[in-house]
Amino acid sequence: MGEDVWKIIEEEVERPSIFKSKESLTPEYIPDTLPHREKELKELASYFKHLVSSPGSFSQRVLLIGGVGTGKTATARVFGRDFTRYALTKGYKVKYAHVNCHSNRTLYNVVADMSRQLNAPLPSRGLSAREMFEALLTYLDETDQYAIISLDEFHYFASLAGRDAVYFIVRAYDVFETPVKRLNFIFISQDTAKLSLLDPSLESYLLRHMIKLEPYTSAQLLDILRYRASKAFYEGTYDDTVLKFIADYEGHDKGGGGNARHAIEVLMIAGVMAENEGAKRITLEHARKAIMKISRDIVNVSEAINYSSLHELLILLAAVRLLRRTGNPYVKIGDVEKEYELVCETLGQQPRRHTQVYEYVMNLKKAGVIEAKSSGKGMKGRTTLIGINYGPLDMLEQYLLDLIKRKIAIGAT
């Protein structure tokens, strides 16, 4: 290693940081406590208390509803982590598994991920979803264990996997009649409207036990930011003025989205900006710049975008570039496919066939990332039109390009 490179690395690594624990501001972080979700945690404890009072007597299914950034995932994870610890003190083995339905889009993948997280010793291939599920139930019986499974972004699974797959999961014990019911579920969704494609009786069944998380107010967000900042930064590197500015910007009562994830991301970016400038404190100016840097709309769909496959992202990038270049609200799928081929060539990727491209476009539509509609009357020939109703597109283009390059670098498909 050259002396100049060594010096650059050494100076950067040994430079004092205002961050004590940057991971405390990441979406993956599971906090020790959840300010302003005590009521919802209490409801979950009430729904699942049978696991320590009369375990196996029935299988509980709860629907957890809330918009982006209302703490659905964090609430489920914190509950799962701490309930399993509590159950152990009472002599019961209860496990928790959190399955993301963006990355597990089929019934087979959902059941496989459930089994993996519960450490069920199943062969890696050769079993159907039904056989795997049956083997999982046998494993839980043999080891005398119970489980709470959270299916995150459940509406996405419902739209892609279809009614039969949803019925299989939701009404599992109608299919597998066993005296001891060891599996319990939390279905996490953005809103009930996204479940409307289900069979009415199935939707009604899910709505019986529903917990709804409301968007956060500015006062609630201030409490959340205070907690996260105390974990993430050294004392004296920030103050309440900055945290209140971010909370007021995002608070639902002040016209914001009430999105804690977005508020925390703004704080993270403000901290990184301050550190890159060599500042010892995060200022209001850093917070203002951080808010300008990210788009609330892009953050709202960022989870769906992050879990999209590489070629779905390449198609999305092609659509964004066409929409920017033409200035039109919609572009034809054929034009997007041509642009996609150019994008693939530039980034050294092999473009997929037309039928696969159409399937990717439909996946993006179902995830709420794009609009896709038939051209209808007034246009020669029938085609699919693609549009994006959020932005700004220049920020989205850069966001996608960075994400695509990271996926290519780690060999993601």
In a domain, 65, yes or no: yes
SS3 for 94?
strand
In a domain, 32, yes or no: no
Give the H or E element holding residue 303.
helix 296-306
Cβ-count burial of 31 within 10 angstroms (0-12 exposed, 13-18 middle, 19+ buried)? middle
Q: What's the CA gap between 100 and 157, in Å, rounded?
A: 9
Residues 173, 286 within the same domain: no
The answer to whether the CB of 190 falls within 8 A of the CB of 65 is: yes
Residues 123, 61 within the same domain: yes
pLDDT value at position 368?
86
Q: What's the CA gap between 289 and 256, in Å, rounded?
A: 17
Q: Domain range for residue 360?
A: 298-412
Distance of alpha carbon 355 from the chain centroid: 27
Residues 161, 73 within the same domain: yes
In a domain, 285, yes or no: yes
Residues 78, 162 within the same domain: yes
Give me the CATH number covering residue 167.
3.40.50.300
Query: Where is the binding site, in residues?
Result: 70-74, 216, 228
pLDDT value at position 94?
97
Q: Which of 181, 212, 243 is the last residue of a domain?
A: 212
The answer to whether the CB of 364 falls within 8 A of the CB of 315 is: yes
Residues 320, 379 within the same domain: yes
In a domain, 221, yes or no: yes
Cα dist from 260 to 99, 248, 295, whole Å: 22, 12, 14
For residue 380, the 8-state DSSP code is: S
In a domain, 31, yes or no: no
Query: Where is the binding site for ATP, in residues?
Result: 70-74, 216, 228
Q: What's the CA gap between 174 and 168, in Å, rounded?
A: 9
Residues 340, 352 within the same domain: yes
Contacts of 380 (CB under 8 A, 6+ apart): none
Residues 201, 289 within the same domain: no
In a domain, 82, yes or no: yes
Residues 239, 350 within the same domain: no
Residues 125, 103 within the same domain: yes
Give me the CATH number covering residue 324.
1.10.10.10
Residues 181, 248 within the same domain: no
Q: Which of 277, 294, 311 is the last residue of a domain?
A: 294
Q: What's the CA gap between 274 and 281, in Å, rounded?
A: 7
pLDDT value at position 185?
96
Q: Which of 265, 294, 323 is the last residue of a domain?
A: 294
pLDDT average per 10 residues of sequence, the chain (413 residues): 74 82 92 96 97 95 94 97 97 97 91 95 83 94 97 89 87 86 95 68 78 97 98 95 93 92 94 93 91 76 87 96 90 96 95 94 92 74 85 85 91 78
In a domain, 18, yes or no: yes
**Residue 62: other Cβ atoms inside 10 A:** 22
Residues 174, 139 within the same domain: yes
Q: What's the CA gap between 126 and 130, in Å, rounded?
A: 12
Phi, psi of 324 (to 5 degrees): -65, -45
Residues 224, 325 within the same domain: no
Nearest Cα residue to 28 out of 100, 112, 107? 100
Q: How many structural domains compose the chain?
A: 3
In a domain, 109, yes or no: yes
